Amino acid sequence: MPRTTDVSGLHISRDGGTGDAANADSASGGPEEPILISEVEVKGVEGELKRIAESKLSIKPNFAYTLSEVRDDIQRVFDAGYFQQLVPVAEDTRDGIKLTLEATANPVIKGVMVRGANVLPQKEIEEAFQNQFGRTLNFPQFSGALKRLNKWYEDRGIFGQVTDVDDASGVINVRLSEMVVGNLNLRFVDRKTSEVREEGATRPEVILRQLSTRPGQVDLTLNIVERKTGGLSCGGGISSQGHSEGALPGFIGSASFTQRNLFGLNQKLAATLEIGQVDGLFRVNHTDPWVKGDPYRTSRTISVQNTRQSGNAVHGRAPDDFVRSGTEEESAPDGNVVVARLMGGVEYGRPLATGWTGTLGVNWQRAKCLNEHGNCITQDAYGGPLTFSGGSSDTLMLALLRAAYSGRSDTHLVASMEQALPLQSNWLNFNRFCVRAEGGMPIVKGLRAHVSAKGGVIVGDLPPYEAFPIGGTNSVRGYSEGGVGSGRNYVAGTTALQWPIFGPVEGSLFFDYGTDLDSGQTVLGDPAGARGKPGNGYGYGAGIRVDSPVGPLRLEYAFNDKFVRRFHFGIGSHG
């Protein structure tokens, strides 16, 4: 009758753990004494499970192994997750030891019963276990499904988790525990003295509406520490433009008031005033981030302001790229143009779907053009008209509709349509549609490709200062601002390779292209044609980008297709 070698101490099971390996070692003469394995066989399972067990075994016939090596091999089979118990049996033969591994498979999953899921959606449960029904229970996969349920609670700030699992019958019973909140109480804690008060500057309903937690069984008290929400600041400086030609730079003074929790309703009010020797600027904004507890979380912004923006991208002197030596262009006056706008409007915004937001608004504005001394002008240095009306100013009422999408990583899409409403006979009437898209993808580790494109179309009355300028730091680099052209229509795009250098610093190589789609001459006075702008062009170069609290800071060196070199400094992403 054949003899058997005692390896009972090497058995592994879910219930009993690992056997006493020390006893097994002593029975076989110690772990360092190798034994010759003549044959290896797996019993108790067939088909795919037998193939999995055999693939995990590294023990080969006619080789010698210590008991510790045998134990590690059995553990490797067990870690595959399909077996409830593994019992090794060793039998002496004339050629060595025949090792038989008697395996007991886990039960086949016939169903999953989840109890205590009052908040967890049924769809989330089905998706977590959908690939496991009708298959042999695999512990790593099943544990991954349980972790997914726990992560659902964690991601939403809900107190809940898996507390018990019973897999004995083939129908898996999963017990969940969810903490259900009863009364919601607020206590306001003074940020300086830590004194607890029952009332604070913010109304309780404004805080409670931000919470998805609802009444239930357990009382929850939130300690609220409120920060300073407003203040008044004043300052002064020197303007880059003097009171008159040849004068010293003028002085300006500024004052601003902000309140980020107006009336305790989390509403925001900001007012800014800037007074200089030539004129003054002001801006007043009021934002209600959640209008009257609207179920769609609608926000509203009301603004009244006047602005001053350079119009030189359209009406300035011809770019140096195209000035011919000894011509009138070379001696033409700078002709700086400032577009002054007085505006007032209201905008409503709200989330539309995951990642999507929508904005609807109306804005009234009156625009006029000024020279560098603050005087109103109607023609630029080339004799071209500055307003559509031919008078000192243009007036319009603008309706706005905008949709924006922000996806994972740096994927963004913005589409907007503006309609100027001719409520009076002398008001402008035009439609403007714009779209911008950008996205990135990894190529290899540490190297990303980034692509962006934008375009626009204007139909109707078009003042020259409203034309699309093409070229510059946020368009086609290598050209000056507006150096490619200005048109009624345009398309521009960028392709870039980006890689990290160190910390917040990134490097990039880029290629830009832009065109006015042959629409430059359709702009009133053809300002681009008068300055000899090409209407299309490209640029390429390299740069670095540094992330900062005010946004990405970019320093770039670019060449355009005329081989003109130019440095560009920008704040924010390109485009």
Indicate if the pLDDT at residue 446 is higher than 90.
Answer: no
Residue 396 CA neighbour count, 13 Å, CB half: 24
**pLDDT above 60 for 499:** yes
**Strand-strand pairing, 553-560 and 565-571:** antiparallel
CATH 3.10.20.310 fits 111-178, yes or no: yes
CA 10 to chain centre: 53
Predicted local confidence at residue 1, as pLDDT: 37
Residues forming beta bridges with residue 560, ordered by sequence position: 539
DSSP string, 319-357: PGGGPPTTSHHHH------EEEEEEEEEEEEEEEETTEE
H-helix or E-strand spanning residue 27: helix 21-27
What's the first-to-final CA gap in the chain, in angstroms? 86
Provide the pLDDT confidence category of residue 8 given band limits of 50, 70 and 90: low
More confident residue, 230 or 334: 230
Q: What is the mean pLDDT of the chain?
A: 84
Strand, coil or helix: what is 158? coil
Element (H, E) at 438: strand 430-444
What is the per-residue pLDDT for 165? 84
Average pLDDT on 544-571 reads 91
Span 378-406, average pLDDT: 94
* pLDDT for res 243: 41
Q: Tell me the pLDDT tens digit for each residue of 277-287.
A: 656 789 999 99
Tokens of 142: 């099943």
Question: Would you list the domain boundaries of the chain?
Answer: 4-105, 111-178, 181-225, 290-571
Q: What order do you get walking across the sheet with 196-197 strand by strand?
A: 196-197, 181-189, 218-225
Among 1-15, 217-231, 405-419, top mean pLDDT goes to 405-419
The H helix count followed by the E strand count for the chain is: 9, 32
Q: What is the mean pLDDT of residues 420-428?
A: 94
Domain 4-105 adopts which CATH fold?
Answer: Ubiquitin-like (UB roll) (3.10.20)
Do 490 and 515 contact (CB within 8 A), yes or no?
yes
Structure confidence at residue 121 (pLDDT): 85
Confidence at residue 244, expressed as pLDDT on a 0 to 100 scale: 38
What pLDDT score does 68 carry? 85
d(CA 529, CA 329): 13
Yes or no: is domain 290-571 CATH 1.10.150.120?
Answer: no
Assess whether pLDDT exceeds 50 at residue 247: no
| Whole-number Å distance between alpha carbons of 169 and 141 | 18
User: What pLDDT is recorded for position 111?
Assistant: 83
Say what the pLDDT of residue 246 is. Answer: 38
- Among 53-67, 293-307, 414-428, 463-477, the range scoring the smallest mean pLDDT is 53-67
Q: Are 493 and 451 in contact (CB under 8 A)?
A: yes
Q: Residue 465 corresponds to which tokens in the numbers above?
A: 């200062």
Q: Mean pLDDT highest for which of 15-19, 85-89, 272-276, 552-556?
A: 552-556
**Nearest residue to 137 via CA among 170, 178, 114, 185:** 170
Burial of 53 (0-12, 13-18, 19+ CB in 10 A): buried
Q: Grade residue 70 by pLDDT with cuts at 50, 70 and 90.
A: confident
Residue 156's pLDDT is 80
Give pLDDT, residue 352: 92
Give the Å distances, CA to CA, from 571 to 240, 459, 476: 20, 31, 16
Q: What is the pLDDT of residue 164?
A: 84
DSSP string, 40-74: EEEES--HHHHHHHHHH----TTEEE-HHHHHHHH
Per-residue pLDDT tens digits for 304-344: 999 888 899 998 876 666 554 444 444 445 568 999 999 99
What percent of the chain clears pLDDT 70, i.e. is strictly above it? 84
Q: Which residues contact 200 (CB under 8 A, 6 or more apart)?
A: 186, 188, 224, 226, 264
- Which pLDDT does position 340 carry in this prediction? 93
Fold match flag (4-105 vs 290-571): no
Residue 4: pLDDT above 50? no
Are 177 and 161 spatial neighbours (Cβ–Cβ below 8 Å)?
yes
What is the C-alpha to C-alpha distance for residues 492 and 434, in angstroms, rounded to an integer?
12
Residue type, 421: L
Q: What was the pLDDT predicted at 219?
A: 61
- CA neighbor of 384 nearest in space, from 430, 316, 468, 325: 316
Q: At what angle do helices 122-129 and 139-155 cross, to 10 degrees?
A: 150
- pTM for the whole structure: 0.64
Least confident of 339-348, 450-459, 543-552: 543-552
DSSP bridge partners of 468: 487
